[in-house]
Structure 1
Amino acid sequence: MKNPKRMSILRSATRSKILKTALEIVKSDGWSGLSMRGIAEKIAYTPPVIYDHFEGKDAIIAELTATGFRKLYAAIKKAQALALPAQQRLEAMWKAYWNFAVSNKELYRTMYGVEVSCSAMKEGFHKASEIPGLFSEVIREILPAKTASDDLVDAKYYMFWSTVHGLIAINLVNKGMSEQINQIILHEALRAQLAMVNA
């Protein structure tokens, strides 16, 4: 008689192995090199085993997308919890965002559709809706209470996000500049945006 708990653990382990292998393939061969057969060959499974866990490549990409947003959310939340003044916490949160993107380039590409179709990432993208709220909470702390309307808070968030995401996108698509130069630009850009929040 099969043990349901053991079967569940084995199934979860197999799914994790498939996702890990898929990401390894993407890192070495790019998104065009990802295929169900390629994953099966790399981990010595038959293709039907892979299809038993995921309907196709799009389902794997969607799961990777969701994983990426969970990890990004956790990194930002950790920075938000630092015992620092609001401005320093906000800067730490954006640096956490930057560090995640730099350390997880392939995941970030799936999350924001760089080199990946929007339809493939649709299932995981809803997790992104939780991230702006973390930044908005701290922006609201910095703004004077009488001026901290939802529209203004949203505008300030998108000003920050367009700056940081834009710099990340330049690096992902065009290879960008050295990490030292990037850090200088990131630091100056965040300071400029913080000054505008206080203006």
Structure 2
Amino acid sequence: MRPKFYRTLPSARRHQRGIVSTLVAVVVLLVTLLAAVALLRSVDTSNTVAGSIAFRQAATHEAEYAYKDMLANASQFSGQPGLGEANIAGVGYYASLQAVDSRGVPTTLVNGNGHSLPANTMPASVTDKVSYMVERMCPQAGPALTVAPNQCLVPGATVTGGSTTGNQGGFSAGALAGYRLTVRIDGPKGATTYVQTILH
């Protein structure tokens, strides 16, 4: 009878193959984990951008309520000779340009001292806080001056675009000074945005 020979792998070689398989599995796991993290960050960034755009659109819409409220108060500082020569803090009006930060936003409003919209002015669906201030574009209070260096800024009296001409909601097109309306909207999660426009 012939003896049978069985070939067996040495134990060291089997151990080596096990280590290689484990390393390959760990590398695949790490690559999968990194891909999952990248996907999560991408989705998070997309959600943040979409939320930011939605907030800006909502803020622009809410600034219109501030504009309407300001027009309702405009008869206290505009439309008649001699009006608007002194500050009227109760309606957020200042007879001269106020100090601004590096963005051109009045520091009074940045510090939260603007005229807050009454609760009944805003729709119940709006939960953001809206405040504003109006500045007469003059270097000082008192009568609007037309001579340098204390000359008031007067935007162009002619409206070349849009659907409005002539009198701008109580503001005379031929006024000796323009006005700057700055609106602050405090939204969710501490988000704050500003909308600024020039009136005449």
Relative to total residues, which structure has the larger helix share, 1 or 2?
A: 1
* Larger strand share, 1 or 2: 2
Q: Do the structures match in fold with TM over 0.5?
A: no
Structure ID, larger Rg: 2
TM-score by structure 2 length? Answer: 0.29
